[in-house]
Structure 1
Amino acid sequence: MTPPYIAVIFSSQRRDDDDGYAAMAERMVALAAAQPGFLGIESARGADGFGITVSYWRDEDAVRAWKRDVDHLDAQRRGREHWYARYAVRIARVERAYGLDSDAPLLPTERP
């Protein structure tokens, strides 16, 4: 991904009951991947139930469209009612990205 782009950072503390969470999470990843402007996703969850998912989007319009998706709205509602003890959403604009990867610059000096 070449910056700039938008990162949506979702931090959450899960409750113990799965109640369909795993299936819904898998479905949301597939649905997000089909949305215009979707660039990718990374996710990790610890044994204590704390997790962070970062989805990447071309621009804020794509993020807003995803937030309003009917199936995503249902998943959000179910998350508040059943799956999460707490969560936070942060939206950030990525200006530079670099790392040890053949597709990413090693220095933060490359700009689009």
Structure 2
Amino acid sequence: MIVTIFRSRLNPGVRDEYDPMAKQMSELARKVPGYVAHKGFVAEDGERVTIVEFETEDALRAWSRDPDHVMAKRRGIQDFFSEYSFQICSLIRSRARTPQSVTQSHNE
């Protein structure tokens, strides 16, 4: 599994334009073969964090090269983000508890 952590801060006054584009990108990402999940959070200080999971690097690469996503990234850099960073990570170990079981995964 490949995990991307995207951190950003929005420029003042751009939310009305940014939010519909972000929603469109979320819907588009779900259609990429190998997409697993994503979720976004906003901290009290305004920092935004989005965690995106894909099954493989090839799936992530397909998402990063999608023409609509390329245009959205460009627009984010030019118009929406006062700052941003991302990290792409390979999952080494995973553990989860669900209401029915505890699962573990190792990728070593």
User: Does TM, normalized by the shorter one, top 0.5?
Assistant: yes
Equivalent pairs, count: 106
Tell me how far 1:15 sits from its aligned partner: 1.1
Displacement of 1:99 after TM fit?
3.3
Distance in 1 of aligned mates of 2:66 and 2:100: 31
Aligned CA distance change for structure 1 residues 59 and 104 (closer, same or farther; 3 Å) = farther
Name the counterpart of 1:16.
12
Q: Quick one: which amino acid aligns to residue 95 of structure 2? A: Y
**CA shift for structure 1 position 100:** 3.3
Deviates more, 1:74-83 or 1:10-19: 10-19
Shift of 1:71: 0.4
Correspondence for 2:22 among 20, 25, 31: 25
Distance 1:98 1:51, change over 3 A: same
The structure with more strand, counted as a fraction of residues: 2
The 4+ residue runs of structure 1 with deviation greater than 6 A are none
- TM score, norm. by length of structure 2: 0.87
Deviation at 1:94, TM superposition (A): 1.1
Coordinate RMSD, CA, aligned: 1.9
How does the TM-score come out when normalised to structure 1? 0.84
